[in-house]
Structure 1
Amino acid sequence: MTKFLLAVHVLAAIVAIGPVTVAASMFPPAARRALQSPGEPGGAETVRLLLRICRVYAVVGVVVPVFGFATAQNMGVLGDAWLIVSIALTALAALVLIVFVLPRQTAIADGLPGEDGERPVSVSSRATARLAMVTGVFNLLWAAVTVLMIVRPGSTTGA
């Protein structure tokens, strides 16, 4: 059962968290291009698609910690320090995504010109730079969690 839970946990992380990190990283440069060239075909649509990917896969990503907890319980490692740190970093990454990344992406996407060419809200390139920074923090948190999951102190893998 542990192997099954671990397989689902890892697959869910790849399928759910991977797209969020990639789409979130692609969002700021795509938004800058759309803001600089408002008449360019597909610019605003690309930004809105990246936002939708981030939103959908953020919801799907809830599966990752659910199966992570089940796997940890089966392995008897729920009290291990590496896992507690990993859980805290995962919670922090989720918080950064929900509180900072997604709302800023939404604000920027709302400020892009619509089909009529008008911008409902003014968005600066500084907003995209701040979003890029916050997205970088989000991605670094996931990288740290990934390293902890692979190296995990006390592991029997010899790492």
Structure 2
Amino acid sequence: MTKFLLVLHVLAAIVAVGPVTVAASMFPPSARRALADPGDPRASETVRLLHRICRVYAGLGIAVPVLGLATALSMGVLGDAWLIVSIALTGLAAAVLLALVLPRQEELLEAAETASETAEAAAPSGTTEVAANPRATAQLAMFTGIFNLLWATVTILMIVRPGSTTGA
């Protein structure tokens, strides 16, 4: 049963967390393009799609810690330091995604859509505070990088498992 749970945990991490990390990383430059060229419908469609991927797969990502805890319980390692640190980092990564990445993506998506509507109406630009603030995409890129770094650290801890009897 442990091997089965471990396989499900790893597959869930690959299928759920992988797309979020990639789509979230692609979002800031795509948002910059959409804001720079509001007349390009493909640019704003790309931003919308990337945000949707992030939202949907973030929801699916809840399976990763649930299966991870079931696997840890099955392996009898719930009290190991590497697992406790991994759980804390996973919680922190989820908080960064939910509190910092997704809300800023929504703001930039709204700004891109507003800019696109303004361009269609051939009115002057000056859409929103977010569009006027070029630091918004840079800040989002930073938060996305933190999210990705936290997940990379969790992955390393899961592979190396320092202090465990099965670690490398």
Question: TM-score, normalised on structure 2?
Answer: 0.89
* Residue type at the aligned position of 2:118: G
State how far apart, in whole Å, the 2-side matches of 1:138 and 1:52 are: 17
In the other structure, the counterpart of 1:121 is 128
AA partner of residue 139 (structure 2): R
Structure 1: give runs of 5+ residues left out of the alignment: none
After TM superposition, the structure 1 = structure 2 runs for residues 2-151 of structure 1, keeping only pairs within 5 Å, are 2-114=2-114, 116-117=117-118, 121-122=128-129, 123=131, 124-151=133-160
Normalised TM-score (structure 1) = 0.94
Whether the 8 Å contact between 1:110 and 1:120 is mirrored in structure 2 is no
Question: What stretches of structure 2 of length at least 5 have no aligned partner?
Answer: 120-125
1:154 Cα shift? Answer: 3.4
Displacement of 1:157 in angstroms is 4.8
The number of residues matched between the two structures is 159
Larger gyration radius, structure 1 or structure 2: 2
- Residues 79, 157 of structure 1: alpha-carbon distance in 2 compared, 3 angstrom cutoff: closer
C-alpha distance in 1 between matches for 2:86 and 2:166: 18
Partner deviation per Cα, 1:108-128 (whole Å, 9 max, x = no partner): 101113553357634222100
Take 2:62 and 2:113, find their aligned partners in 1: how far apart are those partners? Answer: 33
